[in-house]
Amino acid sequence: MTNSNTVHEGKPWGKDVVVDIADGIAWVAINRPAKLNAMSAELAFEMLATLDALELDESCGVLVLTGVGDSWSAGMDLQDYFRAVDKMNPMEKAQVYRANAAWQWGRLVDYPKPTIAMVNGWCFGGAFTPLVACDLAIAAEDAVFGLSEVNWGIIPGGIVSKVLTEVMSQRDALYYAMTGENFDGRKAADMRLVNEAVPKDRLKDRTIEVAKSLLEKNPMVVRATKTAIKMSKSLSWEQSSEYLRAKLDQTIALDPERGREKGMRQFLDEKSYGPSGFSVGGVEASGIVSHPLPSPLPSRERECQLPSPLAGEGLGERGNCVRTTHSKPGRTNLISLGCKHTAGKRDGEI
């Protein structure tokens, strides 16, 4: 991220938070690089207002949280948060704590759009809260993580001790919180603190890939899915079953794209969509037939290396794998893979 585009007329960001929106992805970056993006009291209010604004902004389909420069966030700012808050009166303190909690987990845990933490460097202490609160996390392999609180004479406070137990094993959480030992992005991925770690020069591209895949989905269903998974975690089996039944009904009832209905119709009646990603016969006169997906998956131009399912019937021995755009359940822009075989003399008679 650069901070070249910090000025957004009438937007709440622009100082400690910068936002760049491109192709449906809102890149939200903490912009305190001189302090390695340590989080101040002031930042909390700006970030909270930013998240609220992007919630309503239709140009934001997926939100990526990152940091300007080479740091994701060096945790709570020892000067501009801890020391600053120490000097405040109880009412002011309460406001800061509330705003900080609201952005770091209140908004993010329940954000109505998919969120990805793109960890580009240091990630310490309080930064674990927004890290875990984001739905997904992708780290640079050489990013450095540290639960350093023990070295500062404090416990992992805020809500850090709680969020650790959400994604880390008890042993890992205790080990790293009690020793304060640092670990890198690879280790974070091994421990499932992040989804994956990639070389730093691939970090942004990989994040874009994941974000694009989320953007292709039905937003209403993605939203309900993440809520369902997060909520079910703290419910009993009986409560989950009842809650999920109601959540499913709610999703179906409120889905403006009528995804379930369309999906069933396309698969069962029109035979125009297969969820495993192949197209089904009879769609085009030139002949689209299905066979298991080739590996590696074809690009638009790649020639299909698999024998045609029509070979021996006087039809094409092989054809060209193409990416086929289907009207997918609930959406019209699904890209799935189909294998379009050249039909011979029985052209159109599949």
Say whether residue 177 binds ligand COA (CB under 6 A): no
Q: Which stretch binds ligand COA (CB under 6 A): 11-19, 56-64, 148-156, 321-329?
A: 148-156
Q: Which residue has the tokens 């179906």?
A: 252
- For ligand COA, which residue of 7, 15, 23, 152 counts as binding (CB under 6 A)? 152
The answer to whether residue 16 forms part of the interface with ligand COA (CB under 6 A) is no
Binding part of the chain for ligand COA, among 16-24, 59-67, 120-128, 253-261 by CB under 6 A, reads 120-128
Within 202-313, residue ranges assigned H as helices are: 203-215, 219-232, 237-254, 259-264
158 touching ligand COA, by CB under 6 A: no
Contact 154, 126 (CB under 8 A): no
Of 125 and 219, nearer to ligand COA (C-beta) is 125
* Among the listed residues 73, 70, 68, 64, the one whose alpha carbon sits nearest the alpha carbon of residue 3: 68
Footprint on residues 21-80 left by ligand COA (CB under 6 A) = 35-36, 38, 74-79
Q: Which of 27, 122, 128, 278 is close enough to bind ligand COA by CB under 6 A?
A: 122
Q: Rounded to whole angstroms, what are the CA distances from 321 to 41, 90, 280?
A: 55, 66, 14
User: Using the rule CB under 6 A, is 176 a contact of ligand COA?
Assistant: no
Hey, what are 255's tokens? 């889905």
Q: What is the arrangement of strands in the sheet containing 25-30, beginning at the earlier edge strand?
A: 17-22, 25-30, 62-67, 115-119, 136-140, 196-198
Rank residues 75 and 259 by Cβ distance to ligand COA and give the closer one: 75
Between 103 and 124, whose beta carbon lies closer to ligand COA?
A: 124
Nearest alpha-carbon partner for 350 in 308, 288, 293: 288
CB of 187 to ligand COA, least distance (A): 16
Cα distance between residue 147 and residue 128, in whole Å: 8
The reply on whether position 183 binds ligand COA by CB under 6 A is no
Judged by CB under 6 A, the residue of 16, 46, 135, 149 near ligand COA is 149
Surface-to-core class of residue 293, CB atoms within 10 Å of its CB (0-12 exposed, 13-18 middle, 19+ buried)? middle
With respect to ligand COA, which residue has the nearer C-beta, 105 or 273? Answer: 105
User: What residues line the site for ligand COA (CB under 6 A)?
Assistant: 35-36, 38, 74-79, 122, 124-125, 148-149, 152
